[in-house]
């Protein structure tokens, strides 16, 4: 009778480890390895930090309806730390994913103090819905392979594609930024410029062609406003 050779046993173990690695990959609550321990900046604070607890209180005081999300570590350095699921900030937001608490408070401030007043000023109507193109998304800067991790990969950014007004009109960055309607052009430039007071990085169609159809706001290292 022939038993398993040591080599066969070794390969069985290798296979088991490989399977365990497959099961462990993908979105999960995996803890970070030592090499993931990067300096603490916005978007990298865990939910139990004093700054995050203070931010969550502020979010409540602002009257937002939201669900705090557990800290999550995804593959490729992507994380969603001290993030929330925004349910209601007064103006409905379409296509939202996880967003860090500091991004959420600044988004609310921008929506209330910049975007809504500008819509009333230029169009005589409130914004009924802000059409986002998402917040958390694990991808490199500008979606280009080889670039560093985008702040979207830390739930620390949001893309805004356009707006639906209370009277049903629709304003989009793609059609409006260089479009024929002066009011729309001015409105978009005003809310872009105004966002530079709320966020660290603000990018629009004048930044590069990757932003032809949206405004990008993040709380990474700034300030940069283009
Ligand atoms: Zn973006």
For residues 66 and 104, the answer to whether their CB atoms sit within 8 Å is: yes
For residue 3, give both structure tokens.
């038993």
Average pLDDT of 27-52?
A: 58
Residue-level pLDDT at 12: 45
* 129 phi and psi angles, rounded to 5 deg: -155, 135
Go through the domains of the chain in sequence order and give each one's CATH number. 42-225 (3.30.1380)
Q: How far is the CA of 99 from the centre of ligand 1 (A)?
A: 12
- Whether the per-residue pLDDT at 195 is higher than 60: the answer is yes
Give the closest residue to 62 by CA, choosing from 110, 16, 96. 110
List Cα–Cα distances, 154 to 79, 137, 147, 207, in angstroms.
5, 8, 15, 21
Tens of pLDDT, residue by residue over 42-75, are 567 888 899 999 999 999 999 999 999 999 999 8
Average pLDDT of 1-22?
A: 44
Q: How far is the CA of 9 from the centre of ligand 1 (A)?
A: 49
For residues 204 and 85, the answer to whether their CB atoms sit within 8 Å is: no
Distance (Å, whole) CA 166 – CA 126:
5
Tens of pLDDT, residue by residue over 75-100, are 899 999 999 999 889 999 999 999 99
Q: How far is the CA of 19 from the centre of ligand 1 (A)?
A: 34
Q: How far is the CA of 202 from the centre of ligand 1 (A)?
A: 9
Residues whose beta carbons lie less than 5 angstroms from ion ligand 1 = 157, 159, 216
Q: How far is the CA of 71 from the centre of ligand 1 (A)?
A: 21
* 56 phi and psi angles, rounded to 5 deg: -65, -40
Residue-level pLDDT at 44: 79
Tens of pLDDT, residue by residue over 117-175, are 999 999 999 999 999 999 999 999 999 999 999 999 999 999 999 999 999 999 999 99
Residue 129 CB-density burial (10 A; 0-12 exposed, 13-18 middle, 19+ buried): middle
pTM: 0.81
């Amino acid at each position: 009778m022939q038993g398993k050779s040591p080599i066969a046993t070794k390969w069985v173990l290798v296979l088991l480890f490989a399977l365990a690695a497959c099961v462990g990959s993908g979105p999960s609550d995996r803890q970070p390895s030592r090499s993931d321990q990067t300096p603490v900046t916005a978007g990298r604070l865990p939910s139990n930090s004093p700054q995050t607890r203070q931010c969550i209180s502020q979010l409540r005081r602002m009257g937002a309806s939201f669900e705090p999300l557990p800290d999550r570590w995804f593959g490729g350095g992507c994380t969603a730390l001290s993030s929330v699921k925004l349910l209601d900030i007064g103006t409905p937001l379409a296509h939202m994913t996880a967003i860090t608490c500091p991004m959420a408070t600044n988004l609310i401030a921008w929506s209330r103090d910049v975007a809504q007043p500008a819509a009333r000023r230029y169009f005589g109507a409130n914004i009924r819905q802000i059409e986002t193109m998402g917040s958390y998304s694990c991808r490199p800067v500008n979606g280009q392979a080889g670039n560093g991790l985008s702040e979207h990969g830390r739930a620390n950014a949001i893309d805004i594609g356009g707006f639906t007004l209370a009277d049903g009109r629709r304003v989009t960055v793609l059609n409006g930024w260089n479009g024929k309607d002066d009011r729309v052009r001015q409105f978009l430039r005003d809310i872009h410029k105004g966002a530079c007071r709320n966020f660290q990085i603000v990018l629009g169609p004048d930044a590069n062609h990757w932003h032809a159809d949206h405004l990008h706001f993040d709380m990474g290292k700034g300030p940069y406003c283009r």
